[in-house]
Chain A
Amino acid sequence: MEPITGKALILAASAIGAGLAMIAGIGPGIGQGYAAGKGAEGVGRQPEAQGDITRTMLLGAAVAETTGIYGLIIALILLFANPLIGLL
């Protein structure tokens, strides 16, 4: 059996790290869905406020969505442009 090289160890740890970073992408999805559900409830209760509800929800959802992108960037950089391999 061949010994584990440093590069192989870094690649394995990076793959695990990328998987963990992708968890950050799930949260905004759940949150956005929950907000949309509550927004629909609000519009059902007060139909004349539809414009205000949609505008407020749009801004909140756009800000929340960026948080998921951070995790995605970390995961993709770890997988396809890993800077740690160059340190060996």
Chain B
Amino acid sequence: MGSTLDIQIRVAKGVLIFNSIIAGIGFFIFNEWVPFITGLLFGGIIAILNFRLLSLTLEKAVVMAPESAQKYATSRYFVRFLLYGVVIFISIKANHINVLGTILGLVSLKLVILKTELFNDFQFFKNIFKRKEGK
């Protein structure tokens, strides 16, 4: 649990901040902003909970035998996939939840991870266009 807890907290904070910014923008764009923000909150919370579920699954899978880890991770993925399906279905059917908000909330996790964990080294992108022949 300890090895990924810092990432979980960092990503959860990032999702909350990102969703707050999107909620602020949605407040001005949408006439009916309450369903949008409800959807955003719903999607964001489910995304964070599924990320926690994913971390628990992987922490358990890495100490298993490779074949059983493969089966375990795949079966747990489909459980989470079903959960996502239920969430999107509920937000489509319920009138007081905007489906666009829910989708943005669910996808915000990916955007936050890309921003904070993968594309956070600006020096790398600066060095891409430097020529290296002279050195």
Instruction: Indicate if A7 sits at the interface (CB-CB under 8 A).
Output: no
Q: Which of B110-127 contact A (CB under 8 A)?
A: 110, 113-114, 117-118
Q: A-B contact count, CB below 8 Å?
A: 119
Contact-size category for A? 35 or more
Partner of A38, one of B55, B66, B78, B99: B66
Taken residue by residue from 47 to 72, chain A's Cβ proximity to chain B (1 for < 8 Å, 0 otherwise) reads as 00011011101110111011011001
* Contact of A80 (CB < 8 Å), options: B3, B93, B109: B93
Q: A29, B55: Cβ atoms under 8 Å?
A: no
Chain B interface SS verdict (over half):
helix
B70 at the interface (CB under 8 A from A): yes
| Contact A39 to B89, CB < 8 A, known contacts A54-B4, A63-B114, A65-B77 | no
Q: How extensive is the interface on chain B, given as a class?
A: 35 or more
By the criterion CB–CB under 8 Å, are A36 and B62 in contact? yes
A63: contacting residue among B2, B57, B81, B113, CB under 8 A: B113
Please determine whether B81 and A40 come into contact, CB atoms closer than 8 angstroms: no
Give CA–CA (A34, B58) in the complex, Å.
12
Q: DSSP majority for the A interface?
A: helix
Known interface pairs A29-B77, A62-B51. Does A40 touch B61 (Cβ–Cβ under 8 Å)? yes
What residues of B have a CB within 8 angstroms of the CB of A38 in the complex?
Answer: 66
Could you tell me the distance in whole angstroms from the C-beta of A49 to the nearest C-beta in chain B?
10
- Among residues of B, the one whose C-beta sits closest to the C-beta of A25 is B81
Q: Specify the chain A residue showing the minimal Cβ separation from B111.
A: A66
Are B88 and A58 interface neighbours, CB within 8 A? no
Say whether A36 contacts B110, CB under 8 Å: no
A54-B77 in contact given A61-B58, A62-B109, A66-B110 (Cβ < 8 Å): no
Determine the chain B residues whose CB is within 8 A of the CB of A33 once the complex forms: 69-71, 73-74, 77
For residue B85, CB closer than 8 A to chain A, the reply is: yes
A17 on interface, CB distance cutoff 8 Å? no
